[in-house]
Amino acid sequence: MKTRRYSTDVHSETPALQSFLDKLFQWCDDNKLAGAPQKGSVLHVGPNNPRRTYKFGSTTIPSLTELRDLGIQVSDDLTLQDHQIHRPSTSDPPLQSLRAANLGIRYRHLQSCESVLANTLESVQHFATHIIYNRDRKLRSVVRPCYEERLRHLRLKTLSARRTITDLKTIHSIIYGYSHIKIGDLKFKEFKTRGPKKKLLFKKAKTSIRRQSFLHRSASKFNSLPTNIQCISHRQKFLNEINDRFD
């Protein structure tokens, strides 16, 4: 049972508060319930407070100069200065832990992971665009367009296009030193037949599984790009070009 009593007039209510504590102690004693006055506390508010003591039975309830309740640390002068000083220092370690986890685990995974391509995942997006057109009254009245036109209207891309863009973005970051990933086998060679062309040279794969790996897949797509796009070293400009190309 939690019983509280608040007072705005300390001088006149002090005897009443002590009388209530005595009755509560007697009630606990009659019902064989153990009280815990050491867990309670008294906060004397205001500079002219007489700071009277209160007892629960024979135990004096401790008096504090500051009290924390609902995550807020309040002092006896009702200022939040101590709260503003102490709370940021306690929140720094969790934030540093989150930052370390993000840099050490999540960020590394996002940098090096490869996009997943599966017909079942593409069918989910196909069905989602179908539902959007069914629920929109304006779109429902017109003839339903094909899947590619629905994606263009919703400013989306197919799963294979998104995978291609991600592969090209990653291989571009590796080539121009934006990524921590280092691949020593990649080399550029210029070909002048049928116009100037740059190509990445790497060891060819013999199995179909290896040909679908990130290095062979992305290098082949990078070789198919025009030379003016391949030579763009700025990351954002390169991304804009390939986004427009696979739109």
pTM: 0.46
List all residues 6 or more positions away from 203 whose beta carbon is below 8 Å from its beta carbon: 185
Q: Are residues 88 and 106 in the same domain?
A: yes
First to last CA, the chain: 66
Query: Is 50 exceeded by the pLDDT of residue 3?
Result: no
Query: Is 80 exceeded by the pLDDT of residue 46?
Result: no
Query: Is 80 exceeded by the pLDDT of residue 211?
Result: no
pLDDT of residue 185: 59
The whole-number average pLDDT for the span 5-26 is 66
pLDDT tens figures, 160-181: 888 888 888 888 888 887 877 7
Residue 2 domain flag: no
User: What's the pLDDT band for 193 if we cut at 50, 70, 90?
Assistant: low
User: What secondary structure, in 3-state letters, does the chain show?
Assistant: CCCCCCCCCHHHHHHHHHHHHHHHHHHHHHCCCCCCHHHCCEECCCCCCCCCCCEECCEECCEECEEEECCEEEECCCCCHHHHHHHHHHHHHHHHHHHHHHHHHHHHHHHHCCCCCCHHHHHHHHHHHHHHHHHCHHHHCCCCCCHHHHHHHCCCCCHHHHHHHHHHHHHHHHHCCCCCCCCCCCEEEEECCCCCEEEEECCCCCCHHHHCCHHHHHHHHHHCCCHHHHCCCCHHHHHHHHHHHCC
CB contact burial 107-121 (16+ within 10 A = b; e otherwise): eeeeeeeeeeeeeee
Amino acid type, 68: R
Residue 209 domain flag: yes
Token pair for 172: 């571009």
The whole-number average pLDDT for the span 89-109 is 63
Residues 201 and 184 sit within 8 Å (Cβ to Cβ): no
Per mean pLDDT, which range of 43-47, 49-53, 91-95, 148-152 is the poorest?
A: 91-95
**Sign of the alpha-carbon torsion through 202, 206, 211, 214:** negative
Percent of the chain with pLDDT strictly greater than 70? 65
Residue 1 domain flag: no
Q: How many domains does the chain have?
A: 4
Residue 5 domain flag: no
pLDDT of residue 226: 85
Q: Are residues 95 and 141 in the same domain?
A: no
- Whole domain around residue 56: which residue ranges? 10-64
User: What's the pLDDT band for 98 if we cut at 50, 70, 90?
Assistant: low
pLDDT of residue 190: 59
User: What's the pLDDT band for 198 if we cut at 50, 70, 90?
Assistant: low
Q: Are residues 171 and 128 in the same domain?
A: no
Please give the Cα distance from 99 to 52 (Å, whole number): 48
Q: Is 17 exposed, middle or buried (0-12, 13-18, 19+ CB in 10 A)?
A: middle
Q: Are residues 204 and 166 in the same domain?
A: yes
Q: Are residues 183 and 246 in the same domain?
A: yes
pLDDT tens figures, 134-155: 777 776 667 778 888 888 888 8
Residues 31 and 23 sit within 8 Å (Cβ to Cβ): no
pLDDT of residue 49: 73
pLDDT of residue 191: 60
pLDDT tens figures, 55-73: 777 777 777 777 777 767 7
Question: Would you tell me how many other CB atoms lie within 10 Å of the CB of residue 44?
Answer: 15
Q: Are residues 186 and 235 in the same domain?
A: yes
Q: Are residues 238 and 191 in the same domain?
A: yes
Q: Are residues 132 and 176 in the same domain?
A: no
pLDDT of residue 106: 53
Percent of the chain with pLDDT strictly greater than 90? 0
